[in-house]
Structure 1
Amino acid sequence: MRKVGFDGGHTVYELGPVSDVVLFFECLDVFVVNTCVDQDWSLLSDRLYKRYLRQDELEESFILMEKAKSIFFTLPSSSVAWDEDMQADRDRTWLDSRVDTLGTVFSRYFDLFSKAKNSAVSFLDEFGIYQPLRILASDMPALMVEKKRPLNEYDALGLDDLPFWLR
């Protein structure tokens, strides 16, 4: 199965199989976006999921991700209907449903998001160039193709278009 990761600055932080990342965003939608309706989550649910984060969106998206993380840590991992057959197959999932909370299930995602954000800031500070934080296919040669994709192609995605990492 194809793998994806957070790309920020000079590094791609591999998250795992596409299906795991889809599940993360489904959990974000169900347990965070749809329950905390007084907060605008579009930086995560649209910009990060489908497009990329602009430089001026990094701090606010980090704050939102930390809020999502705290919510995930209040939810038992049993909040998700897990396919137990998948759990034994590392090619199909890197997630461990046997841990206590969804926060623990997705703890790597929160950590790697922070690292990708810091990498994007570091690259900007070092070279004066902002390399946007986004989700990319992390397998070769797809990674090389995606790294060269112009940002205007992301900007042109419509409401019903799939993110490039899901195609």
Structure 2
Amino acid sequence: MSMVGFCGGGLLQESGKPDEIQIFFDTLNAVEQVTLNDLDWSLVLDRLYRRYVRFDDIDKTKQVMDYYKKVLVKGGR
């Protein structure tokens, strides 16, 4: 069974099966599509997922991630 993981700082963290990770990012995309605000979604959907977060963007990236957490975990907006 293949697993998807994220590598950073010399560590590899397994995060789930490929289909589970796809559903996770599809959900993040759906949240972006129905939310009107000035958050820079690409910091999570592109930079964090495909590359890395620039040091100067850490605070803005955390703001986006906190919003996702609020909506997905707590069910609020």
Structure 1 residues 65 and 37: CA distance shift in structure 2, 3 A? same
Structure 2: any 5+ residue segments left out of the alignment?
Answer: none
Letter in structure 2 aligned against 1:51: R
Structure 1: distance between partners of 2:65 and 2:7: 16
Structure number with higher strand proportion: 2
Match of residue 12 from structure 1: 12
Task: Between the two structures, name the one with larger relative contact order (CA 8 Å, sep ≥ 6).
Answer: 1
Letter in structure 1 aligned against 2:72: F
1:59 is displaced (CA, Å) by 2.6
1:57 is displaced (CA, Å) by 2.3
Structure with higher Rg: it is 1
Match of residue 72 from structure 1: 72
After superposition, give the CA deviation of every residue in 1:36-94 in whole Å (9 maximum; x if it has no partner).
2322211011112222222222232122111101100207xxxxxxxxxxxxxxxxxxx
After superposition, give the CA deviation of every residue in 1:85-114 in whole Å (9 maximum; x if it has no partner).
xxxxxxxxxxxxxxxxxxxxxxxxxxxxxx
Structure 2: distance between partners of 1:13 and 1:22: 16
Match of residue 35 from structure 1: 34
Letter in structure 2 aligned against 1:35: V
Match of residue 52 from structure 1: 52
Structure 1: distance between partners of 2:47 and 2:65: 13
Structure 2: distance between partners of 1:10 and 1:68: 26
TM-score normalized by the length of structure 1: 0.40
Structure 1 residues 62 and 7: CA distance shift in structure 2, 3 A? farther
Structure 1: any 5+ residue segments left out of the alignment?
Answer: 76-167
Structure 1: distance between partners of 2:58 and 2:9: 12
Runs of 4+ residues over 6 Å off in structure 1: none
* Coordinate RMSD, CA, aligned: 1.8
Letter in structure 2 aligned against 1:61: T
Identity of aligned residues (%): 35
TM-score normalized by the length of structure 2: 0.77
